[in-house]
Structure 1
Amino acid sequence: MNIILLAGGSGTRLWPLSHSDFPKQFVKLKGMPKTIFQMTVDRCLKLAPLENVYVVTNRSYAGIVHQQIEQMGFRIPAPNVLVEPSSKNTLPAIAYAAQHIHAKGNQLALVLPSDHIIEDDRKFADRIELSLPLTDQRLVIYGIKPSKPHSGYGYIKPGDPDFIGFRVEEFKEKPSEALAAELILEGCLWNSGIFAFQTGVFLEELKEHCPDVYDAFLLPSVQQKYENTPGISIDYGVMERSRRVSVVPMDVRWNDLGSFDSFFDEYRPDENGNITFSDEVLIDSTGNLVYLEQDRNVALIGVDDLIIVEKDNFLLICKKSQSQKVKDIVQQLKLRAAEVVT
């Protein structure tokens, strides 16, 4: 098996813990033994040797990729780090790696985002291995059994049974929380963004459903490929259009850390629903997250559902329900920096 590890990103959703030069997969969060990227590499090694792992990233992160793998005591072959000249979303990134791998002939490939947290790597790997016969003729996507309604995830509606999975009947993009609750009752799964396929099958479906990307990747140089490909996700470009997609349910604890709200699923709150990591004092306060890079004396009185995050010279304070808007702050800071330069 070959593994395509997606390690791009803009670092906006967990600002100020992550930023454009250091997105969330490279961050070592409190209480975790390694960075998220390193934990993902460990997960890969349950399924394939490192020489079969291909990391798609950009110039800014390539050095971090090598450094963090070397910190684990390994060295990834230099040709296995595929550097994109520009960010064009997930479909070009996957096409780049799939084409590179397919040069050796038709190959089995598993696509993994590098910024997800999965609790049981062995259970995850076993489920992947059981599902691989489906890839002979089909694209396989892995669906997570939902733990609650969540408006930040896409949903997959399973159809007819297909080996240990189901034919995909429909994709639903980030519904409202009320609709998400209905979809869960209908048996829908969260879209994990994890895929398996034979490279030949993937390239056939890419040619049929997104010929602009397929044609761009026929060009001779990587620079030309990226200059001519549209930016599009694999979901929109292929998975939602193809009639050869099956979904395999995954009953594992999974978190894509898409916002600070998701920390309440990853860390255990206290009896008042607060998450803290030091000696903060909280009085008549519930449902707060206090995450400080440096230990300092902090007290909260009579406040609920706040996100308080500090790193370097930045302090973020927002309502928990508004944490999806953190990326808007990053955009404003970029605009201010541009105004200063001009």
Structure 2
Amino acid sequence: MDRPLVALILAGGTGTRLYPASRSDRPKQFQSFGRDRSLLAETVERAGFADETYVLTREDYVEGVRDRAPGAAILTEPEPKDTGPALAYAAYKIREQVGDCVLLVLPSDHRIEGDFEDVARTATDAAVETEGVVTLGIEPDRPATGYGYIKPGAAEDGYNRVDAFHEKPDRETATEYVEDGFYWNAGMFAWTPEAFLAATEGTPLEELVEGFEESPADAFAAVDPVSVDYAVLERADNVYVVPADVEWDDLGSWDALERVLDSEDGNAVLGDHVSIDSEGNVLASDGHVSVVSVSDLVVASFDDRTLVLPKAQAQRVREVVSELRATGEF
């Protein structure tokens, strides 16, 4: 492949499901969660084989990105409108600044172990060869209900056509998907800017892209928030999946941290703690937490905020954040 490979790292979200560790002024990607470096810094290093690295973020996070990714170019989206508008804007701007290239799109909140470069190069080669849009699929190790699924179709050279995308299922359906050889949709992609922008034709992003030439800010103001999956991938004809043979985890919620944190006294622990007759909990703080005779809880305490909820209902943190946003306290 003779086109430059550009890693595009998405770092504009806050990570609301990891409240109170994540807040509007200290998003998830700037934190380390028990490691030596932030999630963003780890992602930039993981993409170190790329010819250039861009980080797409929001204006409020620019200085934090510079501190954690000093060698990367920074793009700021006009306003947060989910991944569809963000990725269309990035493709437009990078084509303008770099020219003929291929993009490797990576969220900034994943933990990955294994030969990621080999998988990534297979995906970017496929993107150039097919002139389509390519997603990386993770082979499931459990019937997870928190991820979307990809049904692979006909096999090509190192990739498959995508037969269908499926939204987050219930457990019974997820079990069927795993048994049938579906992949998790990890939100990692490869495409050329030309191919992706062409794929927005006839989608909710078409008018947005047409408006970039005149005013990106006005174009963003007129578009509704929409995910790239719904806006483009689920509608396009030339979509492919590359199986990613790596150890992968999306640190999207407190129960996910249980899979990556050290276990102490039968609990997943980040920070100082005392546990008495308690197990199966996620105990996370920037200070100290103590628990007695409890199980299967999330107890997270950061700064002046504390969150307690059943581990099985970790997704409901969003409800807390919605209330706090309504009162300006997030």
Give the structure-1-normalised TM-score: 0.89
Indicate how the Cα distance of structure 1 residues 99 and 179 shifts in structure 2: closer, same or farther if over 3 A, else same. Answer: same
| Cα separation, 1, equivalents of 2:265 and 2:244 | 30
Pairing 1:232–2:226 present: yes
Aligned to 1:42: 45
Q: How does 1:6-45 map to 2 (within 5 A)?
A: 6-30=10-34, 32-45=35-48
| Cα separation, 1, equivalents of 2:265 and 2:154 | 43
Aligned to 2:263: 269
Q: How does 1:205-244 map to 2 (within 5 A)?
A: 205-209=199-203, 210-217=205-212, 219-244=213-238
Pairing 1:303–2:294 present: yes
| Cα separation, 1, equivalents of 2:238 and 2:232 | 10
Indicate how the Cα distance of structure 1 residues 213 and 162 shifts in structure 2: closer, same or farther if over 3 A, else same. Answer: farther
| 1:215 CA displacement | 2.0
| Cα separation, 1, equivalents of 2:308 and 2:246 | 32
Q: How does 1:1-342 map to 2 (within 5 A)?
A: 1-30=5-34, 32-45=35-48, 47-49=49-51, 52-70=52-70, 75-76=71-72, 80-103=73-96, 104-120=98-114, 123-136=115-128, 137-209=131-203, 210-217=205-212, 219-270=213-264, 272=266, 274-277=267-270, 280-294=273-287, 296=288, 298-337=289-328
Moved more, 317-326 or 125-134: 125-134
Indicate how the Cα distance of structure 1 residues 221 and 277 shifts in structure 2: closer, same or farther if over 3 A, else same. Answer: closer
| Cα separation, 1, equivalents of 2:253 and 2:164 | 26
The code of the aligned residue for 2:62 comes to A
| 1:337 CA displacement | 4.0
The code of the aligned residue for 2:275 comes to L
The code of the aligned residue for 2:140 comes to P
Task: State the secondary structure of the residue aligned to 2:124.
Answer: helix
Indicate how the Cα distance of structure 1 residues 300 and 227 shifts in structure 2: closer, same or farther if over 3 A, else same. Answer: closer
Task: State the secondary structure of the residue aligned to 1:230.
Answer: coil
Task: State the number of aligned residues.
Answer: 321
The code of the aligned residue for 2:112 comes to I
Give the structure-2-normalised TM-score: 0.92
Q: Hey, which of these two has a bigger chunk of helix by percent?
A: 1
Task: State the secondary structure of the residue aligned to 2:269.
Answer: coil
For structure 1, the 5+ residue unaligned runs are: none
| 1:146 CA displacement | 0.8
Detail structure 1 runs of 4+ shifted over 6 Å in the superposition. Answer: none
The code of the aligned residue for 1:69 comes to A
For structure 2, the 5+ residue unaligned runs are: none
| 1:323 CA displacement | 1.1
Residues 74-110 of structure 1 show CA distances to partners (whole Å, capped at 9, x for unaligned) of x43xxx3111221111111111111112224332111
Task: State the secondary structure of the residue aligned to 2:57.
Answer: strand
The code of the aligned residue for 1:5 comes to I
Contact 2:261 2:270 survives alignment (8 Å): no
RMSD: 1.8
Moved more, 131-140 or 234-243: 131-140
| 1:168 CA displacement | 0.3
The code of the aligned residue for 1:55 comes to V
Residues 42-87 of structure 1 show CA distances to partners (whole Å, capped at 9, x for unaligned) of 0111x214xx2121111111111112224xxxx43xxx31112211
Residues 282-329 of structure 1 show CA distances to partners (whole Å, capped at 9, x for unaligned) of 3332201111202x3x54332110111111111111110111111211
| Cα separation, 2, equivalents of 1:177 and 1:337 | 36
| Cα separation, 2, equivalents of 1:230 and 1:326 | 24
Moved more, 131-140 or 231-240: 131-140
